[in-house]
Amino acid sequence: MRWDPDHLPDQAGRTLVVTGATAGIGYFAAEQLAAAGAQVVLASRSAAKLATARAAIRERVPQASVSSVIIDLTSLASISAAAATLSALPRLDGIFLNGGAMQARRGAVTADGLPLLLGSHTVANLALIARLLPALIATGRETGTDSRIVHASTGFVRRFTAQVDDLTRVPRAAIFAYTQAKTATEVFAFELDRRMRAAGLPVASIVTRPGVGVDAKTPERPGIRDSTTPYQRNPYTWWAQGKDTAAWSGVRALTDPAARGGEYYGPTGALRGQPVRVPALARTAAPHGDLADRVWRQLERMAGAEIRLP
């Protein structure tokens, strides 16, 4: 189908959660979903930044239905508390797992002693989904349409091969630690979809990658991207896109009626472009042997949570 990011399918009545929603890709995904009529729940760790993001969205979308929940993806206790709040919503149609630490000094850990990048990007998401899955299933059954779990990955997974058979062995360089976390994310996301489909559950697990979004090409929003916010230089600026368009793949995975579990969405180009379905990597979508099960069990142990499929 032809997809128009500027004219999304009507999302009225749907409740969608975006983590890491106070800046960058997460903010713009939330803004786009709100403009399409969804009730959007912004999830991030700063109450002040959540208030700023809500105000920025309502300035662009006066009729927006937007609320927020505090969640610190580096704290399993915070994740549990946020999940309790989200599970109490009248319905939960989807979640964009976009948040996570983007910088880490060597040896940095979460509040629970987990490697920071793996802990906030991958373990945190398993812990959150373990608690939200009953609500997602209930909404899918009530609406007759699959609820969506959308995972944010990165093009680095295609560029670099990361070992995930033992997640306690974290690469020393941050870029490779990040790639390891996102590789584990993809393995978990595809395995989650396989298990849910086998159980006949009305929930789809979909993987996305944004391409490269840079500040220099990102439109201004008060307190989100303006003279008061930090500016990050990027060597790929000439070839890249703004963070508003980098949000498109995640937004399509959440809103395209034709999207299905186990699919992968990304830009047409390596760094930018329209959001399209792209081939998944065999080593993450269909890894050899029992690797997917071993990654799953490692993440459950780290999260102190178990995903129970009815």
Q: In this predicted model, what pLDDT tens digit does every residue of 16-43 receive, in sequence order?
A: 999 999 999 999 999 999 999 999 999 9
Q: Which domains does the chain have, with CATH numbers?
A: 15-303 (3.40.50.720)
Angle at 270 between CA 268 and CA 275, to 5 degrees: 30
H or E element at residue 69: strand 65-70
* pLDDT for residue 2: 84
The Cα-based distances of 219 to 22, 25, 56, 146 in angstroms read 15, 12, 12, 33
For 299, the 3-state DSSP assignment is helix
What is the model's pLDDT at position 1?
A: 62
Residue 122 Cα distances to 72, 172, 188, 192, 259, angstroms: 13, 18, 9, 13, 23
Amino acid 106: pLDDT: 84
pLDDT reported for residue 52: 98
Per-residue b or e along 143-157, where b marks 16 or more CB atoms closer than 10 Å to that residue's CB: eeebbbbbbbbbbbb
CB 299 within 8 A of CB 126: yes
* Residues with pLDDT less than 50, the chain: none
Numbers of helices and strands, H then E, in the chain: 11, 8
Q: What is the pLDDT of residues 266-281, one digit of tens each?
A: 999 989 999 999 999 9
Dump the DSSP string for 92-138: --EEEE--------TT-B-TTS-BHHHIIIIIHHHHHHHHHHHHHHH
- Tell me, what's the pLDDT at 274? 96
Per-residue confidence (pLDDT) for residue 256, from 0 to 100:
98
How many residues belong to the chain? 310
E strand or H helix at 300, and its extent?
helix 291-303
Contact in structure between 179 and 160 (CB atoms under 8 Å): yes
Rounded-to-integer distance, Cα 264 and Cα 250, Å? 10
Residue 12 structure tokens: 């009225």
